[in-house]
Amino acid sequence: MKDQICPGCGITLQSLDSQAPGYVPKNKAGTAVVCQRCYQIKHYKKITGERVTEESNHQAIRAATSKADLTLLVADFFDPEGSFAPDWAELIKTGGGQPIKLLVNKSDLLPPRTKREEIEEYLACLWQRRFPGISLAGVRALSAKEETNIAAMLKELSGLRIAIVGAANVGKSSLLARIIKENGRCYSQKSPTISSFPGTTQGITRWPLPKFKIELFDTPGLIPGSRIGDLLCAECSGSLLPERKLQVKSWELPEDNAVLIGDLAGVWNTSTAAVKTVIFSAESLTLHWTNSRKAEELLKESPQWLRAVCARDRRALQYTEEKFTVKPGEDLYISGLGWLAVKNKPTRFRVEVPAGVEIGVRPSLIGKR
């Protein structure tokens, strides 16, 4: 079994340590299709064992991009900031100067009428700000889940070896699975492991696809550490991913009132007037509007009906407070959780979020700028 790779996640298989990555029971060795971890994910939707280190992820990405002619960097439109951690610049810049294309995934979640071009333009601008000096050879918004025209996209990549890289959970393996499906039957026994747990892919897997005359490398996802999910256990992190169209809720929020985003964050209107707000978040989160004092209490008490994560994760979160003024045409974003836009006038907000989560004000991601 020496140097045998799990086709689901790319880890080197071993039968010596059941707790270490790549474990396959001895009696299954040789016949096992995937490692025990992939097996548990695929059949029981459970995650077991330790994750490989971030250093090992970096090594895998360096190895894959150095072998490839092109890098496809996958981003999640729902969390642009969490898709581009500024300290990845050195890693993303390929040694041989191979071109980099940006794919903005999960566009099936966009509210109706939002144009994909808007998202493409937005993420290309953010790219320039976060990775100055690293140019993009193209950007395209798509949905690994629902894309109907992958073949057209792949035509222009014919003849290339391509490394798929990006943050954990943006949908790299899902995109690969979509392409494999389109390629035809020869890979029906094998497919990359996909799950809502961050860190599903643990090493490099290689996929020659004769129909499209391309060879793809899937790689482990990077963990920026600044997304809300990065502070949670794998199950809770996955449960915060939006699965259907985003929840978009409008409120006339009076002064001294607040909106709670589950029991994970609170946004207080500290201006002297009411403001029309729009919140974009995953459909699974309870959004609750109440007065200032009640909001404080609820965020502290974290009642079951508001609860978004397990009690253990919730206890470990340390809260911090920041203040922002948000103008029409801007969003107040909380990485991995969603964002709030204001409609009629600039408004001051006080925000309580778990320390370590990136928050800030940006030009509106969706809607007129």
* Residues in contact with ligand GTP by the rule CB under 6 A: 105-106, 108-109, 143-145, 168-174, 194-196, 198-201, 220-221, 241, 243
Residue with tokens 């895998």: 60
Note whether 233 binds Zn ion by CB under 5 A: yes
Q: How far apart are CA 43 and CA 363, in angstroms?
A: 42
Q: How far apart are CA 244 and CA 312, in angstroms?
A: 27
Closest distance of CB 361 from ligand GTP, Å? 26
* Chosen from ligand GTP, Zn ion, Mg ion, none, partner binding at 21 (C-beta under 5 to 8 Å by type): none
Structure tokens at 135: 């140019």
Binding mask 152-181 for Mg ion (x = CB under 5 A): --------------------xx--------
Stretch that binds Mg ion, among 52-60, 192-200, 298-306, 334-342 (CB under 5 A): 192-200
Helix, strand, coil fractions of the chain, as percent rounded to 5: 30, 25, 45
Residue with tokens 């193209």: 138
Q: What are phi and psi of 164, to 5 degrees?
A: -100, 115
Q: How far apart are CA 309 and CA 235, in angstroms?
A: 9
- Angle of CA points 127, 348, 287, to nearest 5°: 80
- Of the pair 237, 302, the CB lying nearest ligand GTP is at 237
Contact indicator for 240, 228 with CB cutoff of 8 Å: yes
Q: How far apart are CA 209 and CA 214, in angstroms?
A: 5
Closest distance of CB 55 from ligand GTP, Å? 16
- When CB distances to ligand GTP are compared, the closest residue is 221
* Chosen from Mg ion, ligand GTP, Zn ion, none, partner binding at 258 (C-beta under 5 to 8 Å by type): none
How far apart, in Å, do the first and last CA atoms of the chain sit? 56
Stretch that binds Mg ion, among 29-37, 199-207, 344-352, 355-363 (CB under 5 A): 199-207
Note whether 205 binds Mg ion by CB under 5 A: no
Contact indicator for 258, 321 with CB cutoff of 8 Å: no
Closest distance of CB 241 from ligand GTP, Å? 6
Note whether 9 binds Zn ion by CB under 5 A: yes
Binding stretches for Zn ion (CB under 5 A): 6, 8-9, 34-35, 38, 233, 236, 310, 313
Binding stretches for Mg ion (CB under 5 A): 172-173, 200-201
